[in-house]
Structure 1
């Protein structure tokens, strides 16, 4: 048997066909965990012949059953010429993919932030807050002013509370919405201000707070709305309010005309635009507003309006509003 193996080995060597090509040093890893550093090895029958890199390149041999072939092939493959460069290239490609994924995620976050804080004038963004804001101009400088949501002389709220009332004023009903004070704290200085309404949630299951305002509608059907946020499907109108000695009122007749979309000098419809990202609705009055007091009213459906309104006045001669947001000048 050994003679046959020697003859076969001699034949292979005579043909110049090694069972493992020469090149960079390799390892022949044994099952006991030790290894031989070799320049070449060949399998001949039940023996492995190898040239030791540590002992002058002489041929030596060990039984094949002592060699851990899986470990040997794995190590030699990982350390073959070019394998390290390929592995480094693969790692670099993976790192680039990870960086691209991070960049994509960061870009998505930036896009989301920009959608929540859109630019409404050079250097001026809406804040990442809910509520209704109006873009005013004072002495040539654009400013954002937050409108308060009002219903009567209580339930002051900066967000968006909803209390529905059916549009069906009964005989004898003189007024539905009363706003404390004869003049709004917010006075804009332009006749066609831009208003921005936050669209905070589309969760129709969200319940209105338990302490939501309940008012006497003089027999009108009123109820809480399950949606405590503005809806993209709502329509908005600007209603001119009647100023009294200590309050402002929205008359029932005006609300009735709102529901019928009737033309009236006391009611101005608005052009609505949902901004990219669907976080904000932009409203612009279709007609210029004359000097006076107004309320932004949300029409929830052809039969219902939101009794909580946002009040403001139009007075080009008024002083600057307090707590405004102005444009940020770019760094030079």
Structure 2
């Protein structure tokens, strides 16, 4: 089987565009996986004629050369390998070797650009909360996307807390000139009984029922460290979160604690939460997860296992660590 060679000039490149990514993926599937053009077309949901055009353009522009010994753009190949290993629809890598550029500052810019490319006409978009989502909203370009609706995936937090769900939802809707729908309920109630009763309120039921109709979700995955968002906002104490960690907790999705397999933890905190049902979130076709903190490997692994990501944006170092972890897990599973 022929390999794929991608010229490497050593110059700093802008984040890969949507068309460039499809071109690269078509070449990856055709040459590296040995798929036929009709199989590539089916995998990428494009026409066979488009596949032939992409492959021709890749060769003509010098991006792809058929050769017996090859070298690919490391970040692009890493993205394709991670897609294969994690079963993701698309991965974007933010390189960390860009001289003076700071990947943590660049991550929200890349994520905002990708997010805009994923939005379709009349889409309904679910948005969670946290520092990463807030920073994406803060750098998002203004666009005129009337007909698009942005909805909050979980209840709200107290006013003093930064990166609140309503702030993220409202700002993204403002940047897109879209309709914004906030969740008029707290994220965490003081008792399980009160949370159960509030979920039965018609307005809350109506909001929760619309989540499966979203076509795109934007969020990150939270950690369970002592200074996590759930602790900072007062939803849990550091000790309570430590105990949950010992019981198998690994991360946080839309305010809810998940275990190492990405499943909802059976705990008092989750029963007191007003948030989208995790199965409803999983049913959203495009689930865009953005992770930039190095310490979030374990939460990210859990989120991927739980099916919470179809599109992923990470740093190159996180991508390599994640690929190594997923590869090790696959080997372990085969030897059991």
**TM-score (ref. length: structure 2):** 0.25
Structure that is richer in strand per residue: 1
Name which one, 1 or 2, has greater alpha-carbon Rg.
1
